[in-house]
Chain A
Amino acid sequence: MADQGSQRRADVMGRWLPAIEDALAAGPGSVESSDTADPVRVDAHLAAAECPAGHLAPQDDFRDSARAAAREIALETLRRHRDGAGRDDGGRNPSAPARDAIAEVASTLCDTTIFRPGLGEWLDQLDRAERAAVTAAAASWMVDALALTSRNGEPHWHGPGHRLRKLRSAPVTIAARVDASRRTRSGIHLLVLSPGARGTDARLARRIALVTAAAHGEVPVEVHIGHRDTLARYRHPIDDAELDSAVVELTDDAGWRLKPSTAPRHPGRSCRWCTLAENCPEGTQHLAATKGAPIPPWLVDAAQSDSGDGGDPTM
């Protein structure tokens, strides 16, 4: 039985890994000709970016924050206290009421050695108020996750790390994050939480499925994207056609990741805090067009120019 499972996984990987590698080899020539020493990571969440160019723009130095750490801490807490797969292990209680979330997060934070080194050291430096902010963010994430999974029973909560697969034929590592999974007779169903609807859910879902197929040898039946702002969960069934689309999209993303200047620019809400700022004509144009929104721009212009000379704009 175990051999059959291994063979099946090998078959899945044997189909989708070469498909990705062939597409990358035939796609952006830059992938093979890149002089990058280390493989670049092409994250599935690039597929969810509204604006690939903005997403790939150089960022300020990464700093841990309550918001950034919330998911990691919440997932560790869910794994330690709630995991449906570990009901008889270590006193876990998947069906404990959500109100226990704060106490469980506080308990998880007592041992910071379980987190990646950077995060653990950062948590150790926090004072009481900062720790409260981190607890609040993590407990809120955790209660949202419990709300999004409450109808279908207890899932298996995943670690905060990525699923990774380094490709042999290209300097690329493909990556995806999965927050929870549930196994049924039909196969495995994955869940990923997102802040809210972005119009790129389907893209993200099939990319996560592709990385799972290539890295773990299993094609998920469905990928569910749960929106934290609406607490709604959307199912994205996965089939071969979806995975084929994901391969094509992955090729584009890998090319953009290696040469960020070629990434398309899709102006939108994120332009306000994008680090490309004045170097992006599309973003600048979008900001000018939506300046003062939802008020019509001519009224905003009039108000700004008239406030400058102190006159009444209607006189």
Chain B
Amino acid sequence: MRLSDWLATLDPASTNRNDTVEDVTAARSMLTEAARSLRVLAGAETGPALPLTISQQFVSSIHRCEQLAVQEAAGGHAGTGWKLFRGRALDAYVCHVIHAGPVADPVEDLRSHWAATDSPGDIEALDAHLSTLDRVADVDPLAVADAVAVADPLAVDERVADLALLASSAGAFGQLRAQSPRVEVTLAVEIEDSVRLPGRVDVLLGGPGTGAPAVLLEVKSGSHRSDHSAQLRHYVMLAALVHGHVPAAAALWYPSGQEAQSPEMCVEVPVGGAVTSSAMRVVAAMERLGELWDGRVPQRTAGPHCNWCSLADVCSESLEQLDAVVTDG
């Protein structure tokens, strides 16, 4: 689904529901209880200094493999530099398309494409149509198609599809601008002065003070993965704790798309139950962390993350997994 189509489905009345307030209250009390347990540990001689900062990345890592979380804390996470750089570049891209329009000029791209396919008459028809409009998003594919049809009846369908794509891309960004977007919004929560849950969502549409329901957008590159959804659900929980009620909706946005014909893609992440499930995930991470502070040896769990763990070559669990793959193969 394209972002513009998804935004069009949102129900403006879906915010501030009372049932979501109960979810927030329950999540807060769950987190408070777990934070108090960590506070008890802090009283010990070798206890942690408070507040402990527990990031979404840490929660994700400790559930995958406790030793992975230790390795990452020790700076043994290979490839972080490029990953971070790519993330920053994508954030900058989104910031650009919201506030300055598409990085590349879609009209020029279309002109170049049509010039390459030897359709000067179509370009004239497009330019004549655009000269009557204030915004590219208002392009009417059928209006141009009428003019195109005179020049080359066989090219009409193809041209209509190109024009629809142009209007959709321009429309997607235009809709974002119309919903009070805030970029890279900090959503930090501190519980009982013991635990700090930091977070930063890429785009917050609407929200408190804007008169529009809060909608979270997390921008991603590559293919859709389950940990992207888990990350966004975590931000839904943080936004709910910060704002006092659950956001109206949340979605992952892949501006670069995943197919040649799809310039961008949007995957909705249901917010129903996200606050409770994310709070339980954080509480479980805090319990594991408490056990590590209590002296337990970190557990090791093999999985896809072994591919980027610095211990992969010497970790018995990782090597066993590799042996199993080789044997099965």
Q: Do A and B bind each other?
A: yes
For B69, the chain A residues whose CB sits under 8 A away are 295
Q: Give the contacting residue for A290; candidates B49, B74, B184, B293; CB below 8 A.
A: B49
* Chain B residues within 8 Å of chain A by Cβ, number: 55
CA of A76 to CA of B198, assembled, Å: 30
User: Are A299 and B292 in contact, CB atoms less than 8 angstroms apart?
Assistant: yes
Q: Give the contacting residue for B179; candidates A99, A144, A146, A296; CB below 8 A.
A: A99
CA of A90 to CA of B179, assembled, Å: 25
- For A196, give the chain B residue with the smallest CB separation: B188
User: Are B73 and A300 in contact, CB atoms less than 8 angstroms apart?
Assistant: yes
User: Are B186 and A303 in contact, CB atoms less than 8 angstroms apart?
Assistant: no
Q: Give the contacting residue for A294; candidates B46, B184, B289; CB below 8 A.
A: B289
CA of A97 to CA of B70, assembled, Å: 47
- For A140, give the chain B residue with the smallest CB separation: B182
Does chain B have a CB within 8 A of A58?
A: no
User: Are B74 and A140 in contact, CB atoms less than 8 angstroms apart?
Assistant: no
For A143, the chain B residues whose CB sits under 8 A away are 180, 182, 209-210
- For B195, give the chain A residue with the smallest CB separation: A294
User: Are A307 and B310 in contact, CB atoms less than 8 angstroms apart?
Assistant: yes
CA of A292 to CA of B180, assembled, Å: 37
Q: A-B pairs with CB below 8 Å: how many? A: 144
User: Are B188 and A97 in contact, CB atoms less than 8 angstroms apart?
Assistant: no
Does chain A have a CB within 8 A of B222?
A: no
The A interface is mostly helix, strand or loop, or mixed, namely helix
For B210, the chain A residues whose CB sits under 8 A away are 97-99, 143, 146-147
- For A100, give the chain B residue with the smallest CB separation: B180
What's the least CB distance linking A314 to chain B, in Å?
7
User: Are B208 and A231 in contact, CB atoms less than 8 angstroms apart?
Assistant: yes
User: Are B177 and A102 in contact, CB atoms less than 8 angstroms apart?
Assistant: yes
CA of A295 to CA of B189, assembled, Å: 19
What's the least CB distance linking A244 to chain B, in Å?
28
What's the least CB distance linking A308 to chain B, in Å?
10
Q: How large is the interface on A (under 10, 10 to 19, 20 to 34, 35 or more residues)?
A: 35 or more
For B177, the chain A residues whose CB sits under 8 A away are 99, 102
From residue 62 to 76 of chain B, which have CB atoms closer than 8 A to chain A? 69-71, 73-76
CA of A264 to CA of B109, assembled, Å: 59
What's the least CB distance linking A219 to chain B, in Å?
29
CA of A313 to CA of B298, assembled, Å: 11
For B141, the chain A residues whose CB sits under 8 A away are none
Does chain B have a CB within 8 A of A210?
A: no
Does chain B have a CB within 8 A of A311?
A: yes
From residue 208 to 259 of chain B, which have CB atoms closer than 8 A to chain A? 208-212, 242-243
Q: Give the contacting residue for A293; candidates B48, B313, B314; CB below 8 A.
A: B48
Does chain B have a CB within 8 A of A63?
A: no
CA of A225 to CA of B191, assembled, Å: 20
What's the least CB distance linking A240 to chain B, in Å?
30
User: Are B208 and A131 in contact, CB atoms less than 8 angstroms apart?
Assistant: no
- For A137, give the chain B residue with the smallest CB separation: B183
What's the least CB distance linking A222 to chain B, in Å?
20
User: Are A139 and B99 in contact, CB atoms less than 8 angstroms apart?
Assistant: yes
For A300, the chain B residues whose CB sits under 8 A away are 70, 73-74
User: Are A150 and B209 in contact, CB atoms less than 8 angstroms apart?
Assistant: yes
For A197, the chain B residues whose CB sits under 8 A away are 190
Does chain A have a CB within 8 A of B98?
A: yes
Q: Give the contacting residue for B48; candidates A136, A140, A296, A311; CB below 8 A.
A: A296
Does chain B have a CB within 8 A of A274?
A: no
Q: Give the contacting residue for B186; candidates A149, A195, A296; CB below 8 A.
A: A195
- For A314, give the chain B residue with the smallest CB separation: B297
User: Are B54 and A146 in contact, CB atoms less than 8 angstroms apart?
Assistant: no
CA of A184 to CA of B179, assembled, Å: 32
User: Are A312 and B95 in contact, CB atoms less than 8 angstroms apart?
Assistant: no
For A147, the chain B residues whose CB sits under 8 A away are 207-210
What's the least CB distance linking B245 to chain A, in Å?
12
User: Are B48 and A294 in contact, CB atoms less than 8 angstroms apart?
Assistant: yes
Does chain A have a CB within 8 A of B114?
A: no
User: Are B314 and A310 in contact, CB atoms less than 8 angstroms apart?
Assistant: yes
From residue 268 to 303 of chain A, which have CB atoms closer than 8 A to chain B? 289-290, 292-296, 298-300, 303
For A299, the chain B residues whose CB sits under 8 A away are 70, 73, 292, 298
CA of A312 to CA of B67, assembled, Å: 11
Does chain B have a CB within 8 A of A38?
A: no
Question: With A129-B92, A295-B70, A296-B48 as given contacts, are A140 and B310 in contact (CB-CB < 8 Å)?
Answer: no
Q: Give the contacting residue for A230; candidates B181, B184, B242; CB below 8 A.
A: B242
From residue 26 to 85 of chain B, which have CB atoms closer than 8 A to chain A? 46, 48-49, 52-54, 58, 69-71, 73-76
For A196, the chain B residues whose CB sits under 8 A away are 186, 188
User: Are B311 and A307 in contact, CB atoms less than 8 angstroms apart?
Assistant: yes
User: Are B242 and A229 in contact, CB atoms less than 8 angstroms apart?
Assistant: yes
Q: Give the most central of B75, B184, B208: most A CB within 10 Å.
A: B208
Does chain A have a CB within 8 A of B116?
A: no
Q: Give the contacting residue for B73; candidates A98, A132, A228, A292; CB below 8 A.
A: A292
CA of A136 to CA of B94, assembled, Å: 10
What are 11 A-B interface contacts by the 8 Å CB criterion? A132-B96, A133-B95, A136-B99, A148-B209, A150-B208, A230-B188, A230-B189, A231-B207, A292-B75, A303-B73, A314-B300
**Interface, chain B (partner A; CB < 8 A):** 46, 48-49, 52-54, 58, 69-71, 73-76, 92, 95-96, 98-100, 103, 177-190, 207-212, 242-243, 289, 292-293, 297-298, 300, 310-311, 313-316
**11 extra interface residue pairs, beta carbon distance < 8 Å, beyond A136-B99, A150-B208, A304-B75:** A98-B209, A131-B100, A133-B96, A135-B99, A293-B73, A294-B54, A295-B69, A295-B289, A299-B73, A307-B76, A315-B316
